[in-house]
Structures are given as C-alpha cells and as structure tokens.
Structure 1
C-alpha cells in the first residue's frame, strides 16, 4: 500500500536555491520554444522559480504543488511580476487536468517524493496529461546516494526510505532508482537522454548526492 506523500514544510527552508531556476531549465526553455511548445506544466512548482521563468518567456503556464504555501507563493510572484499563470494545490497521483493538456512538463526534484506504488501512479498521470510526443523532464533519486545506501533512514519498501533529518523534508518518503528501475519505468516512452550525476558540492558545502535526470517524449 502506498505511503501518503507529504508536502515540504517551506517554513523550515533556509536555502535561496529554491528561488532560482535550475541550470537545466534554460536548456529546456530554449528547446521547447524552438519546438513550438506552449502549454507548460510545472509539476511540483515549489516557490515558483520555474513557473515564473516560463511565464515570463511567453509560455502558458500551469503550476501544481501539494503545498498550499508553495502555491500561494507562486501566485504572489506571478502577480508581482505582472505575468499570468494558473496555480493549483493537489496530489500528483491524481492531476486535475484533462488528457493531453500539455506540450511539455517539468518535475524537478518532485516525483521521488513517494514510494514505489506512488511513482507508478505519478508517471501514469504524466503520460495522461501530456499530448502525444509531448516532452517531460524529471529527476529521480539514485540508489547510489548516501540517503539510500548509508544513512540508515527507515525503509518503506525495497526502493523507498523515509527522511528523518530535521528540515523541510522531514517525514517525507523518497523513492530511489537504479538503471534497471529506469528501464522498467520508462518502457513506453522515447528517452532523449538519461544522465546519472553526482553533486559533490552545492553552495560551497559538501553534498555528494546522486540523481537521474531524464528527458523523454510521451508515446505518440
């Protein structure tokens, strides 16, 4: 049975990184603009860094997050910047959008926040709301990461641990993948690339976490 996932506690966030677009987003924005894409879903929008970036670039943006606090902040940033977007709070396992609503979708450090059953539901929802040949970019935690391999966090299932470190992710399940898991999860999609990378240092501090970064096309 799936663990009910929980929203980040943004009141405990002490990092400015979640206000600044990730480096991959600039590549994606240019790629998707060149492809003529317009309808963009920021799945797990957080504090709105990518929603605002894509709205300012002229995309039609929907922002979605489990946290009402994050959704409210995203709306405020859009209003302050004079751009229009639609923001909603809810569960990524049951998205409130019609089938084939979006050309492109970004889920950056988002879909791992569940267990094995939950990731299957979320990926099915991503397939449903993307149009045929629409593109998605998402990240997944890797089993090479300290958090899975060495931290000793409580295990929920063979692929999932519950974070118990103090901070915004306390009590949130994290799903971890390996190469075989990636092959199994994305059999229906055309994968443009899969990168398996380690962040050694972030903002001057030792980090050492591993992630998969996946760009793919929805089945046509």
Structure 2
C-alpha cells in the first residue's frame, strides 16, 4: 500500500485533512440518515474526519488506517468515545459478515497496488455490510491528475466504469466522476484530481423459500 506522501503531511500539521466531513458523508448524514444507532467501519480513515461525523450523529465507529501518525492526529483532534481507533492493514481486517450498517473507504483504493487489491477491498466492504446497508467509496480514477503536490507517488488509476461495475448489483444512489481542486496545508501546492464517488445501498436479504 502506498501513502501518497500523506504521512509526511500528517507529521507536519496537526490536522491535514481538516475537520469537515467529505461530500458523500455530508450527503448521507443530511439526506439519507441524519442520525443513527448502528455501526460504521471507516477503512483508511486518515485522521478520522468522516469517522467523527458519524460518531457525532450517534453511530459507533471502527476507524482503521495504516498510518500511526494519522491515527495519533485523529485521537487528538476528535476525542470522541464512539470512535474505536486502530492502526492496521485494512485489507486484513476481519469481522463477521453483515457487521456494519455503513462501510466507508474514502481515498483508499488509489493507494492500493493493483486492480485485484481493489476488488478484494470492495468484496470486503460488501461482505461486512448488512442487508439494506450502505457503502461509501471515493477514489482517484484514470482521467486527469496533477501530481505535483505528491512527489514520488504513483497512484493506482482505474476507470470510473471499473468501480461502478463492482456495484452493478447494488442500488447506486450517487455515482459521479468529477475533477477536484485542492491545496494541501503542508506544502501549499495547488493541484487537481479526477475522482470517482459512489454511494451504494446493499439489497435486502433474499427471503428463504417456503
């Protein structure tokens, strides 16, 4: 797994990604389920701004990232008891099937090594999601990128259609291919990325035949 230089950012500033939740998390918490008592899994949580937003809405959140610096920042920035912080390998995460109401992977897939790892990630997300639960996925895709703010980083860039195909049997509430412009606080370099965002709902369990 590649960190894209983010670990340098986590060590340079106390809150690299800011405190506002990402756009799909905002959409979910404003339009779909503003509050809840269920469980959320945030894979590749970074400093946990999305995990914190779900926790503040009432969810119990398991937040996991490979970066100890990110988790340390998150613990300090978001001292919320409803978030269980873990440093670990997301692809090795283990939990029973149908454990979570919502599974999130925001900015994670493009840090993986190849398409097979992405498929493994999405299969894991789908398996851990309860019937009628949700997946939130955001990742770079294979369109235009300015990587000047990420020296030495070669992200995995797959087509938007690759990701939509992985959810072809779920209800895709949102499935967009956009260009974002941003500036990271540790180096001040403006740049852009092409981004796939998917919010998908898992079908209900198929009833047993009588």
Q: Which residue of 1 aligns with 2:105?
A: 107
Q: Which residue of 2 aligns with 1:41?
A: 41
Q: Which residue of 2 aligns with 1:140?
A: 139
Conserved? CA contact 2:149–2:190, under 8 Å: no
Q: Which residue of 1 aligns with 2:196?
A: 212
Superposed counterparts of 1:1-220, under 5 Å: 5-7=1-3, 10-13=6-9, 18-21=17-20, 22-34=22-34, 36=36, 38-79=38-79, 82-114=80-112, 115-146=114-145, 165-166=150-151, 170-171=152-153, 174-200=155-181, 202=183, 206-220=190-204
Unaligned 5+ residue runs, structure 2?
205-210
The alpha-carbon distance between structure 1 residues 94 and 11, as it changes in their structure 2 partners (threshold 3 A), is: closer
Superposed CA RMSD in Å reads: 2.9
The alpha-carbon distance between structure 1 residues 32 and 62, as it changes in their structure 2 partners (threshold 3 A), is: farther
Size of the aligned set, in residue pairs, is 196
- Aligned with 2:111: secondary structure? coil
How far 1:174 sits from its partner (Å)?
Answer: 2.3
- Aligned with 1:126: secondary structure? helix
User: 1:214 & 1:198 partners in 2: Cα distance?
Assistant: 14
TM-score, with structure 1 as normaliser? 0.75
1:74-117 per-residue CA deviation (whole Å, 9 max, x = no partner) reads 233343xx533211122222213221111012222112211111
